[in-house]
């Protein structure tokens, strides 16, 4: 069995999210929102036992942990050597109430005896200011307030507070209820409220999943990926973060540690496409609105990445009180990529906005005003299409005219012509055709390397880049174009490691990469499928699914040699890629039912 490393589940509600390990230890929780400082930071504290909440069962010999089917609720059963067992249920409340969605920055934990007389210890060790243990607390009648730093956390519970304070073991004879959240008096009866919150949260997710449009094959995997995308959506603003964590290394000892709790414009095209395919139109529309809000400020050049509140600063710094994942730092807060030039962003926004004009399900159709806004982005796409940038992989030490960036800029201009035709603006359609054509011609001419018989990573370069696999999907070339066919063959020879696909195989600012980028395998699968290599594509996709963790989640990277997951988690890019490829490869419902 593969040791996945990042064997964690994510629970959340569209405002806050936490990571839970298979023994029900909460190891990561940023409060009160995705990009805030972590109350629980054990994931990044090395060997130091701080920043977590758990239930320690005496003489534990077994544990079983899973999501409650089709929900974001995690159920864990711990069993001791005498057959005693305890069930821990973890969730973040989310349900409809008074005409809106109730989603407080709050976690709920229910601890129940299910067999024998289990002896447990309840431990609650919050932190503040990125890794400083909370040492000041005060005990009330049914709560403990932790008030170091600027953030005050309250644990409200009917468990014996003295046992929690002393971390003393006791025999569990009745269910206990714990609520982690803001320093507010808990409204209503704790037991009744937690039970009601749990039932209504479960029902919310069951109803949400019921509304999805999915394919016949790989339903469980698609549903889990869809819920994970939903949990990455900061609903107040509509932004979708790249991951819930910071600084899980792309590879051990690499110093490739980045803060991913932000919204990358390059993700927009893929995430919107995935949400559209599964019918999650409300989340899709909210994300498009978030992106267009950024684009509306057309006086400034687009940054590649924004906070979930776009005007918030993202200055990069080091968190000195955190040793890093498995002691492998540094832990970075903020992301210096905000200062880079990534020209693919202009095309990404235009492509992401396409459903506003063509998807008839949406209540607000795109019209002339939105088209004029996108035209401003198109002018910048045309201006920067053939200019050097940091590229999709955010090289920190060099700039080149990257093939993918040029392709995205061309695609943006090309789609503006299609939108103009749809709106009846024949003159603007002709205008954007004339803008797009020379970009396309230059792209095909300068990205093609005759000696390598491949489209390469950048104009005039001889190295390969997996993002070039997207050229047919963007419409730059047809899948059966001999140049693309030979490009795929070159990548199979040079970028594939143990069925995994590297982003690139040349040294970058941090040396030679050693882990594969998970979404790149999905891109290769899609390429094989488009080339008619359907059984090979299905086999490679089925193998990819073996690398999801026990909860069905993926991080950013995988070590081809060990199969261990690395990189920030859970990775929106990877989950969107899983959805799109699964939907592409699946048999139709009609084929399954009527043809067997």
pLDDT in tens, 458-498: 999 999 999 999 999 999 999 999 999 999 999 999 999 99
pLDDT band at 1 (very low <50, low <70, confident <90, very high): very low
Question: Which helix (H) or strand (E) segment is 535 a member of?
Answer: helix 534-545
User: What residues does 4 pair with on adjacent strands?
Assistant: none
At the topology level, CATH places domain 211-595 in Glycosyltransferase (1.50.10)
Distance CA 159, CA 136 (A): 20
* pLDDT (mean) for 135-143: 94
* pLDDT (mean) for 139-161: 93
Question: Which helix (H) or strand (E) segment is 509 a member of?
Answer: none
In this prediction, residue 334 carries a pLDDT of 97
Query: CA of 361: how far to CAs of 255, 355, 418, in Å?
Result: 45, 9, 19
State whether residue 162 is helix, strand or coil.
helix
593: pLDDT strictly greater than 80: no
Tokens in use for 47? 């060997």
What is the length of the chain? 596
In this prediction, residue 197 carries a pLDDT of 98
Which sequence spans correspond to the domains of the chain? 9-208, 211-595
The greatest distance separating any two alpha carbons of the chain, rounded to the nearest whole angstrom, comes to 79
In sequence order, which ranges of 98-155 are alpha helices (DSSP H)? none
Tokens in use for 369? 């005003």
Opening angle at CA 259, ends 525 and 243, nearest 5 = 45
| Contact criterion met (CB below 8 Å) for 475 and 411 | yes
According to DSSP, residue 261 is labeled -
**Which among 107, 136, 106 has a CA at the least distance from the CA of 25?**
107
Give the contacts of 333 (CB within 8 A, at least 6 positions apart): 130, 246, 259, 316, 317, 318, 319
pLDDT over 90 percentage in the chain: 92
Distance CA 472, CA 452 (A): 19
Tokens in use for 187? 């409204």
**Which among 276, 426, 393, 292 has a CA at the least distance from the CA of 348?**
292
Distance CA 16, CA 92 (A): 8
Opening angle at CA 9, ends 4 and 10, nearest 5 = 135
pLDDT band at 509 (very low <50, low <70, confident <90, very high): confident
State whether residue 83 is helix, strand or coil.
coil
595: pLDDT strictly greater than 70: no
Query: To the nearest whole number, what is the mean pLDDT of the chain?
Result: 95
According to DSSP, residue 301 is labeled P
| Contact criterion met (CB below 8 Å) for 568 and 580 | no
pLDDT band at 224 (very low <50, low <70, confident <90, very high): very high
Strands (E), 385-513: 448-449, 454-455, 496-497, 500-501
Distance CA 372, CA 147 (A): 50
Question: Which helix (H) or strand (E) segment is 380 a member of?
Answer: helix 368-384
pLDDT in tens, 247-264: 999 999 999 999 999 999
300: pLDDT strictly greater than 80: no
Backbone angles phi, psi at 189, to 5 degrees: -75, 130
Give me the residue label for tokens 């129940």: 112
pLDDT band at 401 (very low <50, low <70, confident <90, very high): very high
67: pLDDT strictly greater than 70: yes
pLDDT band at 592 (very low <50, low <70, confident <90, very high): low
395: pLDDT strictly greater than 70: yes
pLDDT in tens, 155-205: 999 999 999 999 999 999 999 999 999 999 888 899 999 999 999 999 999
| Contact criterion met (CB below 8 Å) for 543 and 581 | no
């Amino acid at each position: 069995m593969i040791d996945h490393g990042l064997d964690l589940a994510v629970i959340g509600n569209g405002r806050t999210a936490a990571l839970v390990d298979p023994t029900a230890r909460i190891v990561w929780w940023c409060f009160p929102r995705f990009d805030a400082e972590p109350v629980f930071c054990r994931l990044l504290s090395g060997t130091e036992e701080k920043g977590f909440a758990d239930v320690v069962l005496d003489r534990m010999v077994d544990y079983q942990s899973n999501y409650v089917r089709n929900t974001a609720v995690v159920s864990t059963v711990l069993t001791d050597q005498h057959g005693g067992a305890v069930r821990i249920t973890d969730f973040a409340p989310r349900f409809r109430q008074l005409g809106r969605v109730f989603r407080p920055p709050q976690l709920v934990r229910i601890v129940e005896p299910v067999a024998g007389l289990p002896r447990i210890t309840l431990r609650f060790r919050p932190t503040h200011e990125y890794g400083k243990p909370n040492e000041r607390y005060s005990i009330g009648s049914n709560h403990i307030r932790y008030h170091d730093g600027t953030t005050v956390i309250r644990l409200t519970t009917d468990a014996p507070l003295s046992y929690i304070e002393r971390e003393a073991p006791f025999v569990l004879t009745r269910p206990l209820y714990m609520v982690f959240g803001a320093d507010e008096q808990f409204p209503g009866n704790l037991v009744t409220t937690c039970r009601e919150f749990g039932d209504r949260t479960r029902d919310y997710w069951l109803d949400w999943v019921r509304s999805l449009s999915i394919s016949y094959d790989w339903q469980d995997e698609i549903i889990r990926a869809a819920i994970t995308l939903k949990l990455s959506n900061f609903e107040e603003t509509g932004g979708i973060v790249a991951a819930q964590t910071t600084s899980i290394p792309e590879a051990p000892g690499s110093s490739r540690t980045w803060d991913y709790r932000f919204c990358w414009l390059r993700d927009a095209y893929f995430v919107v496409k995935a949400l559209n395919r599964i019918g999650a139109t409300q989340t899709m529309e909210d994300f498009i609105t978030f992106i267009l809000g950024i684009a509306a400020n057309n006086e400034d050049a687009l940054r590649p990445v924004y906070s979930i509140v776009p005007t918030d600063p993202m200055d990069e710094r080091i968190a000195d009180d955190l040793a890093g994942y498995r002691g492998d730092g540094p832990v970075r807060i903020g992301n210096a990529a905000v200062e880079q030039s990534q020209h693919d962003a202009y095309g990404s926004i235009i492509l992401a906005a396409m459903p506003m004009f063509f998807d008839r399900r949406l209540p607000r159709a795109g019209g002339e005003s939105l088209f004029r806004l996108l035209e401003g982005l198109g002018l910048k796409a045309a201006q920067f299409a053939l200019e050097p940038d940091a590229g999709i992989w955010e090289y920190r030490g060099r700039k080149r005219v990257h093939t993918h960036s040029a392709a995205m800029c061309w695609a943006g201009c090309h789609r503006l012509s299609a939108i103009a035709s749809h709106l009846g603006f024949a003159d603007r359609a002709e205008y954007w055709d004339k803008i797009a054509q020379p970009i396309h011609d230059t792209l095909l001419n300068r990205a093609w390397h005759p000696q390598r018989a491949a489209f390469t990573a950048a104009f005039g370069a001889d190295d390969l880049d997996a993002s070039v696999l997207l050229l047919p999907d963007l419409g730059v070339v047809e899948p059966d174009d001999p140049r693309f066919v030979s490009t795929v063959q070159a990548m199979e020879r040079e970028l594939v490691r143990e069925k995994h696909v590297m982003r690139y195989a040349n040294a970058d600012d941090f040396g030679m990469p050693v882990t594969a980028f998970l979404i790149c395998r999905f891109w290769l699968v899609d390429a094989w499928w488009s080339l008619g290599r359907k059984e090979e594509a299905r086999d490679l996709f089925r193998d990819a699914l073996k690398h999801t963790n026990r909860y069905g989640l993926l991080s950013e990277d995988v070590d081809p040699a060990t199969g261990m997951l690395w990189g920030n988690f859970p990775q929106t890019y990877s989950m969107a890629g899983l959805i799109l490829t699964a939907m592409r490869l699946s048999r139709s419902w009609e084929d399954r039912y009527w043809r067997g």
